[in-house]
Amino acid sequence: MKFKPLEILTHIILILGVLLMVLPIWFSFATSTHDNVSIMTEGMKFFLGESFSQNYNEVLNEKGGWSEEVTAARMFVNSFIMALGIATLKVVISAMSAYALVYFRFKLAVPIFWLIFITLLVPLEVRIFPSYKIVSDLGLTNTYTGLILPLVASATATFFFRQFYKTIPDELLESAKLDGANSWRFFIDFLLPLSKTMLAAMFIFMFVYGYSQYLWPLIMTTDEKYWTVVMGMKIIFTENYEGVALPRTGERFAYIILSMLPPVLVVVILQRWFIKGLIQTEK
């Protein structure tokens, strides 16, 4: 096979892009497998070292925090629960509200849609104190419900679902009606399967969004049992920071690598749906 110059050029650009994204992660991973002394003396590593199991074992099982109660493993579980809850509820609620907005003719559907859309201008960080006040009045601080609930509405996802539903031909609804599908069945049997690539995409975005929440869990949780990975990244291992001991750089990199795994897994698993949807054009 002969390559044209343009093809070679585009491939070089693509390869550079891949390297640009992969190399820092590789550096982090390679460094996370070395002991702290060699990192301190020799800096970031490109090749794998011998302290892999020791570093990762320490990170997962060492008790951290002020009260030394929480482990990184616990924080991963917390983050996973939070992200999963946020992503699932966001997708479900957005899909349903978009369904209501598109298919049910009620007055004010358009103003309501724009009202939802405007909330994009008021992200959690802006309304953090009112939100905290409400959640704390409800007695939900230091609970998973409190972590998840204030984040489950999504204007973005509602918007995307609405746009998608609008592209579905009316005949499909009419035909389904004649086939005896009520509005609930139409949603379950038609809209959900038809929008599964959309659902997967939204789930990925929202999972990453939930997983990378920092400010909200920081304010919400005083009990270390509910700490999340992103918060923990800052708090864990600080005890040695100003001491005489070496900074535990190896463990920190191990922590970072581990913290990337859940979102990566979600993307990898759901990407199959993505690609399936792209290959079979079903409309």
Partner 1 sequence: MSFLELQNITKIYPNGTKAVNETSLNIDNGEFVVFVGPSGCGKSTLLRMIAGLEDITNGEISLDGNVINNIDPSERDVAMVFQNYALYPHMSVFNNMAYGLKNRGISKEEINNKVNDVAKLLEIDQLLTRKPSMLSGGQRQRVAMGRAIVRNPKIFLFDEPLSNLDAKLRNQMRLEIKRLQRQMGVTSIFVTHDQTEAMTLGDRIVVINNGVVEQVGTPKEIYSKPNTKFVAEFIGSPQMNLFNCKIENGIAHIADMRINLNNSTNIDDAILGIRPDDILISDNGQHTCVANLVEYLGSDMIIYSKIGDQEFSCKLSSKINLNAGDTFKFDISNTLVHLFDNTNGSRV
**Contact set with partner 1 (CB under 8 A):** 169, 171-172, 174-182, 185, 189-190, 193-194, 280-283
HEC readout, 166-212: HCCCHHHHHHHHHCCCCHHHHHHHHHHHHCHHHHHHHHHHHHHHHHC
Q: Treating both helix axes as pointing N-terminal to C-terminal, what angle do 155-166 and 196-211 enclose, rounded to 10 degrees? A: 170
**DSSP code of 247?**
P
Q: What is the rounded distance in angstroms from the CA atom of residue 110 to the CA atom of residue 156?
A: 16
**At its nearest, how many Å lie between partner 1 and the CB of residue 277?**
10
Task: Name the residue nearer to partner 1 (CB basis): 153 or 181.
Answer: 181
Which one, of 96, 83, 258, 54, lies nearest residue 192 by Cα?
A: 96
Q: What is the rounded distance in angstroms from the CA atom of residue 250 to the CA atom of residue 199?
A: 38
Q: What is the rounded distance in angstroms from the CA atom of residue 90 to the CA atom of residue 153?
A: 6
**At its nearest, how many Å lie between partner 1 and the CB of residue 280?**
6
**At its nearest, how many Å lie between partner 1 and the CB of residue 192?**
9
**DSSP code of 245?**
S
Task: Name the residue nearer to partner 1 (CB basis): 134 or 173.
Answer: 173
**At its nearest, how many Å lie between partner 1 and the CB of residue 114?**
22
Task: Name the residue nearer to partner 1 (CB basis): 175 or 238.
Answer: 175
**At its nearest, how many Å lie between partner 1 and the CB of residue 21?**
34
Would you state the structure tokens that stand for residue 137, as one six-digit string? 């009045």
**At its nearest, how many Å lie between partner 1 and the CB of residue 194?**
6
Q: Residue ranges of the alpha helices (H) in the chain?
A: 5-31, 36-42, 52-61, 72-103, 109-118, 128-137, 144-148, 155-166, 170-178, 183-186, 192-194, 196-211, 215-220, 229-235, 249-279
Task: Name the residue nearer to partner 1 (CB basis): 180 or 243.
Answer: 180
Q: What is the rounded distance in angstroms from the CA atom of residue 191 to the CA atom of residue 214?
A: 34
SS3 36: helix
**At its nearest, how many Å lie between partner 1 and the CB of residue 273?**
13
Task: Name the residue nearer to partner 1 (CB basis): 170 or 242.
Answer: 170
Task: Name the residue nearer to partner 1 (CB basis): 185 or 234.
Answer: 185
Task: Name the residue nearer to partner 1 (CB basis): 133 or 276.
Answer: 276
